[in-house]
Chain A
Amino acid sequence: MSGIKRYLIRKTLIYTLTFFLAVTIDFIIPRMMPGDPIGVLLSRFATLPEATKYLHGYFVQAFGLNKPLWEQYLSFWNAVLHGDLGVSIYYYPKPVTEILKAAIPYDLALLFPALVASWFVGNWLGAIAGKNRKLDSYLMPVFYFLQASPYFWFAILLSYLFTFKLGWFPISGAYSYGIIPSLSWEFIKDYLYHWILPFLSLFMVQLGGWAIGMRNMIIYEVEADYIRYLEALGASERTLMKHAFKNAMLPQVTGLAIQLGLLVAGNVTVQIVFSYPGIGYVLMQGIMNQDYFLIQGAFLVIILTVLIANFTIDLLYALIDPRVRTSYTEEGG
């Protein structure tokens, strides 16, 4: 079997297992926790007789509380696979799936550009710091400070500076109240205007991490044997950096997997600061109002997004690092 094939099978297996585990966690935790949260859940609907009736039906179907555990588990899976995540209490009677569907585009429009832009700019700045010792002593503390900042605190800082002090950008929402979302130029302008601060919060904090990682890798790679060899054979500075950069960049690609989790979490908190209507903001509403279906649904959606993104990253990695092909040919891995 070829190395790539082996690698792909292995990765698919891990991600399938992860998804399986995530759904199981989503199933088990409400049943494991003290204080019978499902009982609490039902009692919350006492004031909404109509909802209680609907929810009772849902419980029988998805939770099936009177059935044995394994049967409950199977019907939970059944519901999840059919995209049925229950009904929100806070936004009653909207189904959770519908609420999340409306929120996701806002998340993607923030997360994806923030991740990609911070990766490129961070790696670029990090490589410069790694090469240039003098610049490094100024840049490194800045990178560290960015990386050490909680995302939402950085968002608060930006909104204090750019909204309260300078009045340049709006402080909340994804667009102005008077505007109806459409593909008009006016809306896009308004949208970008609201988008910039949440984006910058994610971008800046994330950038610090990438830059530090790249800086360390470059310093490490420049001392590697293959660079010494190229240098001994008269390769120019440019060629040396080209070789070092590629190898330093590879761990940064795998690093995307870990950073993505942090970014998603950061995104949740940043949205709260800016009342930005993505999953994070929805999740906060769920938590504040003990809307368990909403919390569970948001959990699943976040994990699914991260899984898909990670799988894409792994595919990409197999294409750019030849070592994957060899390390997966034999029993290695």
Chain B
Amino acid sequence: MSLLEVRNLKIYYKTPAGYVRAVDDVTFHVSKGEVFGIAGESGCGKSTLVHSLILRKPPMEHAGGEAVFKGRDLMKLSEEEARKIRYTELSIIPQYAMNALNPTKKIKDIVWDLAREHGHTNRSEVEKLLRERLAMVKLTPKVADMYPVELSGGMKQRATMVVSTLLNPDLLIADEITSALDVTTQRVVLELLHHFMEEGIVKSIIFVTHDLALLDKIADRIMILYAGKMAELGPTEEVINEPAHPYTQLLLNSLPRMGVQYKKQKLKGIPGYPISLLNPPKGCRFYTRCPYAMQQCKNEEPPLVKVGENHYAACHLLGGENQ
């Protein structure tokens, strides 16, 4: 059963030079109980995509499509309705998790300010829950009475995770939360997310990252975005082991392979830079960097093609009669 259904979603940025098409016709769904991974290079639109689900502020604009969350289209909700859904049903751990907490407010005060505006009336109950959850992520419950400035970076990261999930949201968005962390802390964070799922604190997670190796460990399904378009979407195992889109293949090649020592592995970046999203070419957006580029790629946009059970990719190499 799907919790979130995104269909043909378009999110643009309005700039003096025109619209930047950061998310351009993206369709996917997130089921209950699943971890949905979104991957791509920085600037591919993955952050824009998830943030648009939560809050659209100028210059970000909704330019088409819908995002139905538990039966309601997030794109059509009034400001007040959307505000109420946030935190209680749809929550986020931001990229800047270490700086997300107001340095001059005690953590319990921050939490209470938020909880009170989402219908909670019993302060001691909220604080009790906070202390329990802090203990769950192996922080001392005293952290509730501390100011964020008194915590170390790793402690702040965990505290933010607790704050974000305190009211048991159905869907949790984790936006690049591991990119600033060292490998050990990354593992801890992944374990915690896993734990949140097991305990039923969150039902589903959208995990956004530029690191496919991480998704291999945590995600059930993966969507690869390139320049605002979907490149590939499918079950993790298949996408990692049998990538259909040249971009996914290159992305995987640029990773150190599992089980191979770093020194022996030559890291291959993908040459070139993503195209400008201000006036994207009409053909395939990966055309400029694709090693297999053909004449057709320049002029025609490749449709999403089914390449396996629940596995889709958009590339002319795969044919492209049907979807």
Contacts and interface: CB of A to CB of B under 8 A. Distances in A.
Q: How many A residues touch the partner, as a band? A: 20 to 34
B147 A322 contact: yes
A282 B163 CA distance: 60
Task: Please report whether the interface of chain A is mostly helix, strand, loop or mixed according to DSSP.
Answer: helix
Interface stretch (B92-100, B203-211, B251-259, B294-302): B92-100
A226 B102 contact: yes
A239 B103 contact: no
A247 interface: yes
A322 B86 CA distance: 29
A239 to B, nearest CB: 5
A247 B99 CA distance: 14
Nearest to B88: A234
B149 A229 contact: no
Nearest to B94: A229
Contacts of B104: 246-247, 250, 321-323
B118 A229 contact: no
A230 interface: yes
A236 B99 contact: no
A234 B103 contact: no
A234 B117 contact: yes
B89 to A, nearest CB: 10
A246 B83 CA distance: 23
A289 B178 CA distance: 72
Contacts of A327: 149
A231 B114 CA distance: 10
A228 B164 CA distance: 13
B99 A234 contact: no
A1 interface: no
A234 B84 contact: yes
Interface string A173-198: 00000000000000000000000000
Contacts of B86: 232-234
B105 interface: yes
30 contacts: A225-B96, A225-B100, A226-B99, A226-B100, A226-B103, A228-B94, A228-B96, A230-B110, A230-B113, A230-B114, A232-B55, A232-B92, A232-B94, A233-B87, A233-B92, A233-B114, A233-B164, A234-B82, A234-B83, A234-B85, A234-B87, A235-B114, A235-B117, A239-B114, A243-B102, A247-B103, A247-B104, A322-B147, A322-B150, A323-B149
Interface of A: 225-226, 228-236, 239, 242-243, 246-247, 250, 321-323, 325-327
